[in-house]
Amino acid sequence: MERGCAVETAHVLSHTYQKLVDTAIAADAVWYASTGHALAIVSSDEDMIPALITARSFGVRTAWVAHTETVRPPYDATVAASGVECLAC
């Protein structure tokens, strides 16, 4: 810390609370699909699966782009049955 500076690294880089980013992405994705738009979520986070399945239920093309070759069990069967496209990158 510089002399006289009250800001510490922990004030800027602290993760002591949830950022709620996943929830915001999920809510936006479901809303967007409900308006009839196709969508893709680029994330390796399996927390996106419920949002993708819900978005797909609106009948729009829905894709999950992730850093993986396959969806791991037990999610693989659920995602496949939902019609969500899984794309590896």
Per-residue pLDDT of the chain (89 residues; tens, 9 = 90+): 456 777 777 766 666 667 788 999 999 999 999 999 999 999 989 999 999 999 999 999 999 999 887 888 999 999 999 999 999 87
Q: Which residue has the tokens 């927390």?
A: 47
∠ CA 23-53-78, nearest 5°, is: 120
Q: What is the pLDDT of residues 16-39, one digit of tens each?
A: 667 788 999 999 999 999 999 999
CA 48 – CA 39 distance, rounded (Å)? 13
CATH number at 9-88? 3.40.50
pTM of the model: 0.77
